[in-house]
A and B are shown apart, each in its own frame.
Chain A
């Protein structure tokens, strides 16, 4: 059956923005979310405050969720997964649970997952040392204003971030930059310094990618106001030593090797396509790049069109993205998902 409704898959920042935009343009939406709640990774992973403006993730996401749940044109299906898709652009039939949903177009907003720093090539001891954590683990601590060493419950006196964990690494296969980790680590570094003024905070990096305004919004305040120490050089391994963590690397700009003791090590893990992105890409037959993210085949000026007519994608399902990118591509996908149907109808 030909219909002009849109199915959005994924209830994170991109999916919510896409669903809200489609509905606000007057088209009905079915929003399918695997989890039992909306908000996606920022909520599921307990993000404290969003980069770069530091607004509470719950507040910011709450506003977006409210925009979706208050709109009568949006039918939200929680704990629901798409298991099949038949038909073609303008007349898809999508199986969700035991129901068949008709849709003119589909938006895949299935997002990313954090790189698992326990991968075998990583020598950071994420699963070995309790005081080695990842960005999202620190987010959860910041959310409850309780940054302590998991091993003994004491606040750290020295804490460092290790950048590019799971990104820009040919050995792992993730040769891309995950874009947001520099900003998120710098933001968290500021928050740690604010919460624990006696804690020295270091960021070990390859190069800081604080593009655009993030430079002045996060990077320089971190360095100049909060005295976060940026050291160019990547940590090769983390070792337990006398109840603390010994990190080894090179202080490249000073031209010296270094071994420094830390109380906590935060791994700035990158982005990988989520399990949902991988499985939905396969189910809908859209082209993926070598890393598993969904290809936008008409880039750069069209960022949301996939290789299958009628199927669009947005947010971090397309590749590493910050929230601004997610919101922008979501709105673009919303417009395309509607206009493609109207053009098809008017073309007869």
Chain B
């Protein structure tokens, strides 16, 4: 549910609630599919966005000219507007920024066509920061947006590659045509035709040294990527820890 879908401001009760919360402007009431949280929590999230060291380079003033929307591919398909992102930030509109973190920011394709802004704004960059804050704080929208990546993360952590040739099944990719059936039936042969021996694999994209998995894990651990995963998908995090526990033990690595 976007701002433009806001049905005309009926309902004084909701209106006053917003004003009492100290919002700069009336925002759409909580008709969207995300949980409302106390104003102080919204303020904390917004403060985290604004405290990011990139933020001053991404937001100046806004003409409200709409050139970013005109350039935006997502705006053609969704009720999404990079202008509203820049405006909400420029206005320090806490309520609206929270709403955008729960909705709009996931409709952006991060193509950065919007950087043609005559004032030098970077709405896509603001969205990058907002997404990071949404993920780091485990917002509902982040969990939902990243749902589809659970399997991919698990695959990377357990095999070291993101996709594997044996994922090529006719049922899984009907749009790839009849060749998929042929390839999948003789996958091993097709793979062995490839010149690099490291690619004569079917269950991983290429030969992965077990040591690589350890290093990958440690990188994720040290950079906080694992903490991020824990915030958005605790179950996945538990599985990853279990997968790696034995390997780390074997290598004599303590966390």
Select which of B8, B24, B26 is within 8 A of A200 by beta carbon: B24
Considering the chains assembled together, what is the distance between the CA atoms of A253 and B63 in angstroms? Answer: 11
Chain B residues whose C-beta falls within 8 Å of the C-beta of A229 in the assembled complex: 24, 90-92
**Contact present for B25 and A254 (CB under 8 Å):** yes
* A220 at interface by CB-CB < 8 Å: yes
**Contact present for B84 and A254 (CB under 8 Å):** yes
Min CB gap A150→B, angstroms = 22
* A255 at interface by CB-CB < 8 Å: yes
Considering the chains assembled together, what is the distance between the CA atoms of A229 and B96 in angstroms? Answer: 15
Q: Which chain A residues in 233-265 approach chain B with CB under 8 Å?
A: 251, 253-261
B interface residues, how many (CB within 8 angstroms): 23
* Residue in B closest to A227 when the chains form the complex, CB atoms: B92
Chain A residues whose C-beta falls within 8 Å of the C-beta of B92 in the assembled complex: 227, 229
Q: Mark A193-237, 1 if CB is under 8 A from B, else 0.
A: 000000010100000000000000000100110010101100000
Select which of A223, A253, A258 is within 8 A of B61 by beta carbon: A223
* B172 at interface by CB-CB < 8 Å: no
**Contact present for A254 and B3 (CB under 8 Å):** yes
**Contact present for B64 and A251 (CB under 8 Å):** no
Q: Which chain B residues in 135-154 approach chain A with CB under 8 Å?
A: none
* B199 at interface by CB-CB < 8 Å: no
Known: A223-B90, A224-B61, A254-B87. A260 touches B6 (CB 8 A): no
Q: Mark B173-203, 1 if CB is under 8 A from A, else 0.
A: 0000000000000000000000000000000
Chain A residues whose C-beta falls within 8 Å of the C-beta of B84 in the assembled complex: 254
Select which of B4, B26, B62, B64 is within 8 A of A258 by beta carbon: B26
* B70 at interface by CB-CB < 8 Å: no
Min CB gap B85→A, angstroms = 11
Q: Mark B200-217, 1 if CB is under 8 A from A, else 0.
A: 000000000000000000
Range, interface on chain A: 10 to 19
Q: Ordered nearest first, which 10 A-B pairs have the shortest CB separation? A: A223-B61, A257-B9, A258-B26, A224-B61, A253-B64, A229-B91, A255-B4, A224-B60, A258-B25, A261-B19
Chain B residues whose C-beta falls within 8 Å of the C-beta of A220 in the assembled complex: 60-61
Select which of A231, A232, A256 is within 8 A of B9 by beta carbon: A256
* Residues of A bordering B, CB below 8 Å: 200, 202, 220, 223-224, 227, 229, 231-232, 251, 253-261
**Contact present for A232 and B64 (CB under 8 Å):** yes
**Contact present for B19 and A256 (CB under 8 Å):** no
Select which of A251, A255, A259 is within 8 A of B15 by beta carbon: A259
Considering the chains assembled together, what is the distance between the CA atoms of A54 and B62 in angstroms? Answer: 24
**Contact present for B3 and A256 (CB under 8 Å):** yes
* B28 at interface by CB-CB < 8 Å: yes
- What is the interface of chain A mostly: helix, strand, loop, or mixed? strand
Residue of B3, B8, B25 ringed by the most chain A CB atoms within 10 A: B25
Q: Which chain B residues in 75-127 approach chain A with CB under 8 Å?
A: 83-84, 87, 90-92, 96
Q: Mark B11-47, 1 if CB is under 8 A from A, else 0.
A: 0000100010000111110000000000000000000
Considering the chains assembled together, what is the distance between the CA atoms of A256 and B95 in angstroms? Answer: 14
Q: 16 A-B pairs, CB-CB below 8 angstroms? A: A200-B24, A202-B24, A220-B60, A223-B90, A224-B61, A229-B24, A229-B90, A231-B91, A253-B83, A254-B3, A256-B25, A257-B9, A257-B26, A258-B25, A258-B26, A259-B15
Considering the chains assembled together, what is the distance between the CA atoms of A238 and B91 in angstroms? Answer: 21
* Residue in A closest to B12 when the chains form the complex, CB atoms: A259
Known: A232-B64, A251-B26, A261-B19. A256 touches B91 (CB 8 A): no
Select which of A202, A227, A260 is within 8 A of B19 by beta carbon: A260
Chain A residues whose C-beta falls within 8 Å of the C-beta of B24 in the assembled complex: 200, 202, 229, 260
Chain A residues whose C-beta falls within 8 Å of the C-beta of B87 in the assembled complex: 253-254
Select which of A227, A232, A255, A261 is within 8 A of B6 by beta carbon: A255
Min CB gap B247→A, angstroms = 51
**Contact present for A251 and B61 (CB under 8 Å):** no
Instruction: Please name 7 further chain A to chain B contacts, defined as beta carbons within 8 Å, in addition to the given A253-B87, A254-B25, sorted by A numbering.
Output: A223-B61, A224-B61, A251-B26, A254-B3, A259-B26, A260-B25, A261-B19
Chain A residues whose C-beta falls within 8 Å of the C-beta of B25 in the assembled complex: 231, 251, 254, 256, 258, 260
Considering the chains assembled together, what is the distance between the CA atoms of A261 and B19 in angstroms? Answer: 7
Residue of A202, A229, A261 ringed by the most chain B CB atoms within 10 A: A229
**Contact present for A256 and B26 (CB under 8 Å):** yes
Chain A residues whose C-beta falls within 8 Å of the C-beta of B60 in the assembled complex: 220, 223-224
Chain B residues whose C-beta falls within 8 Å of the C-beta of A256 in the assembled complex: 3, 6, 9, 25-28
Considering the chains assembled together, what is the distance between the CA atoms of A270 and B26 in angstroms? Answer: 28
* Residue in B closest to A232 when the chains form the complex, CB atoms: B64
* Residue in A closest to B28 when the chains form the complex, CB atoms: A256
Considering the chains assembled together, what is the distance between the CA atoms of A189 and B96 in angstroms? Answer: 24
Considering the chains assembled together, what is the distance between the CA atoms of A223 and B92 in angstroms? Answer: 12
